[in-house]
Amino acid sequence: MKKVVFIISLLFATATALVFAHGDATGIVKERMDLMVSLKNAMKNLKPLFRGKEEYDVEKVKQNALAIRDAAGNHMTKLFPEGSLKMPSEATPEIWTQWEEFQRLADNLGRLGQALHDGAENNQTAGPNAMGSSAMGGPGMMGQGHMMEGGMMSQGGMMGGGRGGMHGLDNMTDEKLVSMPAAGLFRMIGQSCAACHKQYRVEK
Amino acid sequence: MRFLFSRRFWYGVLLSILCIGAAITYWLWQPITPTLQWEALAGNPERGAYLARMSGCITCHTDSQAGSVALSGGKALKTPFGEFRAPNITTDKVHGIGSWTPQQFAIAVREGISPEGKPYYPAFPYTFYTQFSDQDIADLWAAFQTVPPVSIPDPKQTIAYPFNIREGLKFWRALYFKAENFEPEPFQKDSQHTETYNRGKFIVEVAAHCAACHTPRNALGALESENHLSGGVDSAQNKVPSITASALLKKGWTKDDLAYALQTGITPDGDVFGGSMSDIVEQGTAFLSWQDLIAISEYLFNANQSSITDTKH
């Protein structure tokens, strides 16, 4: 009898754990949470390659870049039908009041994923400051001169501007993107994710 | 007890209340006279610009999402007291700080008092900046002089009553800030720790004012020092995680991971910071040197509670 009770308890505990492991998400919310996990995993796989922690592997970059592309654009936005905020969704309602912006960010992520795939061979040195002298302007002290915001003085000289707003991406051709260093594209993908998270994700 | 039924007694009580009320009102509406006589030093604008990045000046005073010009006014900072918006701090003489003197700038940043003698809301983190040295202030001033003027009025504040009565902040200052007879107490290095640790401590506890978001606040909006860096809420009322050493270790962060995340926004598990931290990275920490990012990590991973709560907020 004790053995039966033990087995039933074990099955119950396993089932409960499985449910909670997926954060209670179901339906469309679960689908998009899974999609976000796939994006996260791709970024996790790419990070050591661009930091010089792993040997640079073009095929691995291409593979993960495609994973990003295939989780972006309409693949992503179709998983956000209006009002789908059922818990444990982390989406904010602004997605639907600013749908064009949300779609733009999702599309740009797709373009960046494709560009990283196509330009994966165009790798420059990796390391903690790999982006310091890149086309993105990188984390230089004053943050000036980044091509994404149109030059040194446009945002108020040494005291102005961010490290490259994602709005500038709209004005870049795909050819231009592909010509950028792969490490730069990786950082831009991170910025693209951040731009979306800060507007459309609740931090829990 | 018969006096309780005396009309004269109650007139006296009423008169006393009115006198006390009048005295408090007079005190509240009197401009604050700063005590500090600041002697302007020669500033280094490059160092000042770097310090401004580190201190979040560009992050808060720029509405980057709306594509506004840098330092011409920030986006809404949501709090339980209402929405604050950082003002225009370009060199515009009407709408910015173009007509300020270096002395007024020093008093504003370190004492939280406007040139008109009004107290600033602590949404402006002067309670952290109060530990800036004279040279820090001079460098910041020099950097701000390089900012072109932008003639845009300050964004509108939407602060709930009674918190919109700025004069009431005198009570807050009396409770939580050394408001009278201010004397600068610049950041002091701890000789028992390395230069890297001390640099990190200066960045975390003074310039970057990490506690402003990463520490919970009480009902009056003051930081709960006993829960320093143990998590709070950000300007959009998002949950902000704990960044105590134990919390970071528990979540599997390393010093290197943390420095990299502050540079790029990308976390060890491949996620990317959201909420206000994404702005802080984009406009601030992404511009810091790798050495400074490592210094931040060094401090956060090695600070114990006593060394943290020693800091003045």
Residue of chain B whose Cα is closest to the Cα of A167: B67
Give first-to-last CA distance, chain B, whole Å: 48
A18 occurs within a structural domain: no
From the candidates B77, B213, B272, B276, which should be mutated to test the interface with A, based on the most A CB atoms within 10 A? B272
**How many folded domains does chain A comprise?**
1
- How many CB pairs below 8 A link A and B? 132
Convert the pLDDT of each residue in B210-232 to its tens digit: 999 999 999 999 999 999 999 98
Convert the pLDDT of each residue in B133-143 to its tens digit: 999 999 999 99
- Nearest by CB to residue B274, choosing from A51, A163, A198, is A198
> Which residues in chain A are contacts of B268 at CB distance < 8 A?
44
Task: Inspect the interface and report whether the beta carbons of B45 and A45 lie closer than 8 Å.
Answer: no
Task: Inspect the interface and report whether the beta carbons of B49 and A40 lie closer than 8 Å.
Answer: no
Residue-number span of the structural domain to which A141 is assigned:
23-200
For the entire predicted model, the pTM comes to 0.83
pLDDT band at residue B37 under the 50/70/90 scheme: low
Is the CB of residue B54 less than 8 Å from the CB of residue B292? yes
Q: Which residue has the tokens 């509240």?
A: B28
Task: Inspect the interface and report whether the beta carbons of B143 and A41 lie closer than 8 Å.
Answer: no
Question: What is the Cα Rg of chain A in Å?
Answer: 21
- Nearest by CB to residue B287, choosing from A39, A139, A191, is A139
Mean pLDDT of B158-186: 85
A92 occurs within a structural domain: yes
Mean of pLDDT over chain B: 90
Residue extents of the structural domains in chain B? 45-176, 195-309
A10 occurs within a structural domain: no
Secondary structure letter of residue B35 according to DSSP: -
> What does the pLDDT read at residue B143?
96
Contacts of B77 by beta carbon, 8 Å cutoff, 6+ apart: B60, B83, B84, B85, B86, B123, B235
A76 occurs within a structural domain: yes
Which two tokens mark B171? 């009570």
CA distance B269 to chain A (A): 6
- Residue B155: which of B240, B37, B224, B62 has the closest Cα? B62
Contacts of A81 by beta carbon, 8 Å cutoff, 6+ apart: A28
* Calpha distance B114→B202 (Å, rounded): 25
Cβ-based interface (< 8 Å): residues of A facing B: 39-45, 47, 51, 128-129, 131, 138-143, 155-163, 165, 167, 187, 190-191, 193-195, 197-199, 201-204
Mean pLDDT of B96-118: 95
pLDDT above 90: percentage of residues in chain A: 58
Mean pLDDT of B37-45: 82
pLDDT above 90: percentage of residues in chain B: 70
Is the CB of residue A164 less than 8 Å from the CB of residue A136? yes
CATH number at residue A114: 1.20.120.10
Secondary structure letter of residue B207 according to DSSP: I
> A14 or B227, which is more confident?
B227
pLDDT band at residue A37 under the 50/70/90 scheme: very high
A119 occurs within a structural domain: yes
Is the CB of residue A123 less than 8 Å from the CB of residue A183? yes
A15 occurs within a structural domain: no
- Residue A112: which of A199, A31, A195 has the closest Cα? A195
CA distance B240 to chain A (A): 7
pLDDT band at residue A153 under the 50/70/90 scheme: very low
Q: Which residue has the tokens 């490059």?
A: B46
Side-chain-facing half-sphere of B9: CA atoms under 13 Å: 6
Residue of chain B whose Cα is closest to the Cα of A203: B238
Mean pLDDT of A142-168: 45
> What does the pLDDT read at residue A113?
98
pLDDT band at residue B22 under the 50/70/90 scheme: confident
CA distance B278 to chain A (A): 6
Convert the pLDDT of each residue in A123-151 to its tens digit: 865 555 444 333 333 443 333 333 223 22
CA distance A110 to chain B (A): 16
> Which residues in chain B are contacts of A128 at CB distance < 8 A?
256, 259-260, 263, 290
A181 occurs within a structural domain: yes
